[in-house]
Structure 1
Amino acid sequence: MPDRVPVQLGEYESAPLEPGHLTPRDVDRLHALQARGCLTLTRERTGWRLKADATVGVLVLDRVRVVIAPKFAIAGEQLMSWLAYTLGTPVPAMARRWATGPDGYADLIAAALVEECERLLREGVRRDYVRHRSVEPVLRGRLDVAAQATRRYGQLDQLHVRTFDRESDIWDNRVLGSALKAALGLTASPDLARALHGAAGAFPQAPTPAAALRALDRTHYTLLNARYRPAHTWARLLLRGGGVTDLLTDHGTTADGLLLAMPALWEAVVRRLGTEAAGLHGGHAVPGGGGVGITVRGDLGSASTFRPDLLLSLPGHDTAQRTLLPVDAKYKRYDRHGVSAADVHQLLTYSSGYAPADAPVSVIVHPQQGSNTQRSLQVRRAKGLLGTIHVLGVDTRSTPEQATKWIGSVLR
């Protein structure tokens, strides 16, 4: 099969495609991704135009390999630090050293998976008892009396038996074999492909990627399989295509890509940053964003609800009282332009619904590069202050631990 045509574009950017670049199967898959807000495919007079939304990663089509770079040029080591921080898993050493190049960020995830799998192989993969039914010339395990009577009619030259043997062909290992195979189709690096191929040969595979995902969803970790948790975390990300799950079918059709929704990833980062920063000063996150939230009723259709991405309960000046602080994550370049009117209205709604009436305060947290920044917006009316919005820019080149300490100092 000829090499796929490389297509490079950035987040929110577009690129032209020739008519022969896309097969009918590719068009169907791209339209399915478009319906989920990942990208936009439009027909033009000279071919196609593919536009990325707030999504980065790699998409492998029949004739084209699309690499979507983020609008923030984050180094590979830093991206893995933030992603691992969000997922609550350690950063593998190989992934930290892996250079982010034209092959895209999918190689970083694949490198993290292969290192965890190699660690499991060094330690010895888990084995468990697996039930088997077979026909043997001698008795092993337990005789299946019903099968012997109905299929052999009492003859004893061949015995229907049920055995329990300790094997590595269990779901904990099968999901890793399936994820390693999926990663092989994404990487363009020969060195990484060899490492993936070598690790994949040591793990059994699930019948389909969908079956592996179902097994991951059912997995409960105990002392027996707790060491599999980091490898399963990276496997889940690869098998889900970075979040695109509906393209996985029991017929073996996969998303063939790793697409990360950056706004959702940033929201997860901010939730953990804010929760840990508040904990440094006796605060905590309010589960569920504060109960029912702010609701709008009486309009056409169903009632709508406003909930901040994160609601913090912080100790006030009086230790017996606590104040609520709404925090919203914005994956926007607010280091280069002002806060939009829509976001100002949204944060004012949060502050009026959650913050104290005498101190209506809310917080926006956005990513940026270079240094951490802080500025405050005062929204005034004729009778005085309507609300204050603190705009915090978190330096994505710093470590999550450094960002946590800085946000904690601001909240204090």
Structure 2
Amino acid sequence: MIKTVSELITIEIPEWKSLTINNITLTRDDEELVEQIAEKVSVDNLKEGVRINAKSWVGVIRFSQFEVHIIPKLAGGYCGLVKMIEFACGLQLLRWLSKDRMIKIEKSNDLYDLVALLLVEECEKLLSAGLLSDYIEIESDIPVLRGRFLTSKQITKRFGEIDRLECRYDEYLKDIPENQIIEAALSFCARRIKNEELLMRCRYLYSVFSEACSTNEIVMLQKIRENLTYNRLNEYYRTAHILAWHILDGLGINDIYVTHDRRCFAFLFDMNKLFEEFIYKYLQKTLEKTNFIIRDQFSIKSIIYQSDSDHRYKNIRPDFIIQAKNNIGTKLPIDAKYVLIENNNVPRDICYQIFIYAYALGRKDTSVIPSAAFIFPSASEETNPISLSINVNGKKEACIKGFGLHILTAIREVEENRFGLNSASKQIMEFIWRNLVM
């Protein structure tokens, strides 16, 4: 018996946790879905059930008989996640909502419906403001002369015909990239939303946008993403586009063009990427009134060489580097890691990576040893920093620090526009000052 979406068993699990579901078997469609999401979430088919191993990806996975919701507990749930997106992307998604609507969002246990709701709200604003149109160059055979007559094409395709003319002309249309992005996101939302009221609103919007434009190729969307720029004419589309890209990325852009109506799907959000963007913006605000600046994705020439050719092996790229505003002196590497660290048990790969950063950018004088840091989400507001060092013959050769940031506390600072007040921020600033000034 096939269950409707409302009849599916709903199971919640925090990120970085495991859960075994007994008396459940996976169908062929389920197994295909498991294969697609293997790098994001581990799903093992056992003799008497299914084991889910969550990582840093959060969201919803809908199987044939049950639905799994991976909750970002370290971020304060889905509402905290949306607030992180707001701050990291410079949006205002929740501030204009009514109190009743905010209560519903805070209690929401479905990330897909939540992001779809925000997209629908933004699309309704676009309709009120009016959809954007632009002149599009069209080549077509038409009954009357319009624009430029294509002589060579007429001879090649319609030699001797006078009832149809090959022409190139400009048409003022809504079938432009700005609307095509929205149409692509709504096309999937209109088939996967659980809430009936929201589904009706989404389907109406999809009918409007699909009538105005169409996107038939994945390549087209990818090119749009690479080439689209914003100006005073299309700036009011920016928020809706960011939400649309989150939906397309979370679903996997290839899934948009599946022709049959698949019941099984996954909408997964990479908390590693979002946490990195959030920390960058947060540190940027914290350092505003200091003599330091933060830069992201700073490439460093590797300290690792190929021994046979004496060539550098690979460049090193920490998430951020902190340096003086005058660009003079040492650069301090810092990474953002969305991992669950309990009892100061730092994963080995993180240790090795951060120590490499310390050696690559460490101070060359003898007064301060090479140092680097990483920031991870903390479950509590007060967390002692993690200190690790490499000792050779009793002498420290390198040192790294791990700082646990309580995301909900940081979000409160964002809402109050007061940065650097929590204990983790103060510890980070002290570490920066000690390594770049002393």
TM value normalised by structure 1: 0.81
Alignment of 1:12-51 (within 5 A): 12-16=17-21, 22-34=26-38, 37-51=39-53
**Partners of 1:73 and 1:249 in 2: how far apart?**
28
Which deviates further from its counterpart, 190-199 or 99-108? 99-108
Q: Secondary structure at the match of 2:250?
A: coil
Counterpart AA for 1:272: K
**Partners of 1:161 and 1:182 in 2: how far apart?**
36
Match of 1:329 in 2: 336
Match of 2:376 in 1: 366
Change (3 A) 1:110 1:368: same
Between the aligned residues of both structures, percent identity stands at 21
Is 1:53 matched with 2:55?
yes
Match of 2:205 in 1: 199
**Partners of 2:181 and 2:299 in 1: how far apart?**
37
Alignment counterpart, residue 313 of structure 1, candidates 310, 323, 337: 323
Q: Which runs of 4+ in 1 moved over 6 A?
A: none
Instruction: Count residues in correspondence.
Output: 401
Alignment of 1:79-118 (within 5 A): 79-92=81-94, 93-94=96-97, 97=102, 98-101=104-107, 103-118=109-124
Q: Secondary structure at the match of 1:99?
A: helix
Instruction: State whether residues 39 and 52 of structure 1, in contact with CA within 8 Å, keep that contact through their aligned partners in structure 2.
Output: yes
Instruction: State whether residues 184 and 196 of structure 1, in contact with CA within 8 Å, keep that contact through their aligned partners in structure 2.
Output: yes
Instruction: State whether residues 368 and 395 of structure 1, in contact with CA within 8 Å, keep that contact through their aligned partners in structure 2.
Output: yes
Task: For structure 2, list consecutive stretches of 5 or more residues without a partner in the other structure.
Answer: 434-438
TM value normalised by structure 2: 0.77
Is 1:281 matched with 2:290?
yes
Q: Secondary structure at the match of 2:408?
A: coil
Change (3 A) 1:269 1:234: same
- Give 1 or 2: higher helix fraction: 2
Which deviates further from its counterpart, 253-262 or 363-372? 253-262
Deviations 1:42-78 (CA, angstroms, capped at 9, x unpaired) = 2322354333222110123455433222242614443
Match of 1:292 in 2: 301
**Partners of 2:327 and 2:89 in 1: how far apart?**
35
The Cα shift of 1:28 comes to: 2.0
**Partners of 1:192 and 1:176 in 2: how far apart?**
16
Deviations 1:245-290 (CA, angstroms, capped at 9, x unpaired) = 5x54865589943211222322232233334433431222355435
Q: Secondary structure at the match of 2:201?
A: helix
**Partners of 1:147 and 1:345 in 2: how far apart?**
63
Change (3 A) 1:154 1:17: farther
Counterpart AA for 1:261: D
Match of 2:436 in 1: none
The Cα shift of 1:126 comes to: 0.7
**Partners of 1:131 and 1:345 in 2: how far apart?**
55
Change (3 A) 1:339 1:386: farther
Deviations 1:215-266 (CA, angstroms, capped at 9, x unpaired) = 3233233333232222111111111226x45x54865589943211222322
**Partners of 2:220 and 2:84 in 1: how far apart?**
29
**What's the C-alpha RMSD, in Å, of the aligned pairs?**
3.6
**Partners of 1:7 and 1:51 in 2: how far apart?**
16
Instruction: State whether residues 120 and 201 of structure 2, in contact with CA within 8 Å, keep that contact through their aligned partners in structure 1.
Output: yes
Is 1:6 matched with 2:45?
no
Q: Secondary structure at the match of 1:338?
A: coil
Q: Secondary structure at the match of 1:240?
A: helix
Task: For structure 1, list consecutive stretches of 5 or more residues without a partner in the other structure.
Answer: none
